[in-house]
Amino acid sequence: MTKKILGIDLGGTSVKFAILTENGEIQQKWSIRTNILDEGSHIVPDIIESIKHRMELYEMTSEDFLGIGMGSPGAVNRENGTVFGAYNLNWKQTIEIKQAIEAETGLPFFIDNDANVAALGEKWQGAGADDDNVVFVTLGTGVGGGVITDGNLVHGVAESGGELGHITVDPKDGFDCTCGKKGCLETVASATGVLNLTRKLSEEYAGDSQLKTMVDDGAEITSKQVFDLAKQGDDLAEMVVDEFSFYLGLACSHLGNILNPKFIVIGGGVSNAGEFLLEKVRKNFAQFTFPNVRETTKIKIAELGNDAGVIGASYLVKTGL
Amino acid sequence: MTKKILGIDLGGTSVKFAILTENGEIQQKWSIRTNILDEGSHIVPDIIESIKHRMELYEMTSEDFLGIGMGSPGAVNRENGTVFGAYNLNWKQTIEIKQAIEAETGLPFFIDNDANVAALGEKWQGAGADDDNVVFVTLGTGVGGGVITDGNLVHGVAESGGELGHITVDPKDGFDCTCGKKGCLETVASATGVLNLTRKLSEEYAGDSQLKTMVDDGAEITSKQVFDLAKQGDDLAEMVVDEFSFYLGLACSHLGNILNPKFIVIGGGVSNAGEFLLEKVRKNFAQFTFPNVRETTKIKIAELGNDAGVIGASYLVKTGL
Whether residue B88 is predicted with pLDDT greater than 80 in this model: the reply is yes
In A62-103, the DSSP E strands lie at 65-72, 75-77, 82-84, 95-96
| Nearest-CB residue to B258 (from A133, A147, A297) | A147
User: Which residues in chain B are closer than 8 Å to A264, comparing Cβ atoms?
Assistant: none
* Interface residue of B77, B187, B255, B260 to substitute, partner A, most A CBs within 10 Å: B260
Q: Is the pLDDT of residue B321 over 90?
A: no
The shortest C-alpha distance from A144 to chain B (Å) reads 11
Torsion, Cα of A138, B261, A68, A45 (10° steps): -80
Within a 13 Å sphere around the CA of B216, how many CA atoms are in the beta-carbon half?
A: 13
Q: Rounded to a whole number, what is the distance in Å from the CA of A120 to chain B's nearest CA?
A: 16
Can you tell me the mean pLDDT for B169-185?
A: 96
Classify A74 in phi/psi space as left (phi over 0), alpha (psi -120 to 50) or beta.
Answer: left
Looking at every residue in chain B, the average pLDDT score rounds to: 96
**Closest-CA distance of chain A to residue B10, Å:** 23
Q: Tell me the sheet residues that pair with A75.
A: A84
Q: Is the CB of B257 less than 8 angstroms away from the CB of A168?
A: yes
Q: Which domains does chain B have, with CATH numbers?
A: 4-120 (3.30.420.40), 127-303 (3.30.420.40)
- Return the CA Rg of chain A: 21
**What is the pLDDT, as a whole number, of residue A118?**
97
* Per-residue pLDDT, B87: 87
Binned at pLDDT 50, 70 and 90, residue A85 comes out as confident
Residue B304 identity: L
Residue B27 pLDDT: 97
Residues 6 or more apart whose Cβ sits within 8 Å of residue B217: none
Question: Kind and range of the H or E element at B243?
Answer: helix B235-259
pLDDT digits 0-9 by tens, B200-235:
999 999 999 999 999 999 999 999 999 999 999 999
Q: Do A259 and B293 touch (CB under 8 A)?
A: no
Per residue in A238-296, pLDDT (tens digit) is 999 999 999 999 999 999 999 999 999 999 999 999 999 999 999 999 999 999 999 99
pLDDT at A81 over 80: yes
* B57-87 pLDDT per residue, tens: 999 999 999 999 999 999 999 999 999 988 8
Q: Which residue of B lies nearest to A286 if distances are taken between CA atoms?
A: B181
Residues counted in chain B: 321
Compute how many other C-beta atoms are within 10 angstroms of the C-beta atom of residue B61. Answer: 11
Residues of A in contact with B292 (CB under 8 A): 158-160, 163
Predicted confidence at residue A140, as pLDDT, reads 94
B111 to chain A, closest Cα gap in Å: 18
Tell me what pLDDT residue A191 has.
96
Judged by CB atoms closer than 8 Å, whether chains meet at B161 and A259 is answered as yes
CB pairs under 8 A between A and B: 169
Using DSSP, state whether B240 is helix, strand or coil: helix
Measured between CA atoms, the residue of chain A closest to residue B259 is A161
Average pLDDT, chain A: 96
Could B171 and A291 be called an inter-chain contact, meaning their C-beta atoms sit closer than 8 Å?
no
Whether A120 contacts A146, CB under 8 Å: yes
Which DSSP symbol is given to B262?
A: S
Residue range B125-175, pLDDT digits in tens: 999 999 999 999 999 999 999 999 999 999 999 999 999 999 999 999 999
Using an 8 Å CB-CB cutoff, list chain A residues near B250. 168, 171
B136 sits in the region (left: phi over 0; alpha: psi -120 to 50; else beta) called beta
Rounded CA-CA distance B20/B5 in Å is: 5
Convert the pLDDT of each residue in B301-312 to its tens digit: 999 999 999 999
Cβ contact A254–B167 (<8 Å): yes
Give tens-digit pLDDT for A19-63.
Answer: 999 999 999 999 999 999 999 999 999 999 999 999 999 999 999
Run of H or E including A318: helix A308-320
Beta bridge partners of A20: A5, A26
Q: Residue A321's pLDDT is what?
A: 81
Nearest to A210 by CA among A178, A233, A243: A233
Question: Which of A154, A160, A168 lies closest to B149 in CB terms?
Answer: A154
Give the orientation angle of helix A235-259 with respect to helix B235-259, to 10 degrees: 80
Mark yes or no for CB contact A161/B260 under 8 Å.
Answer: yes
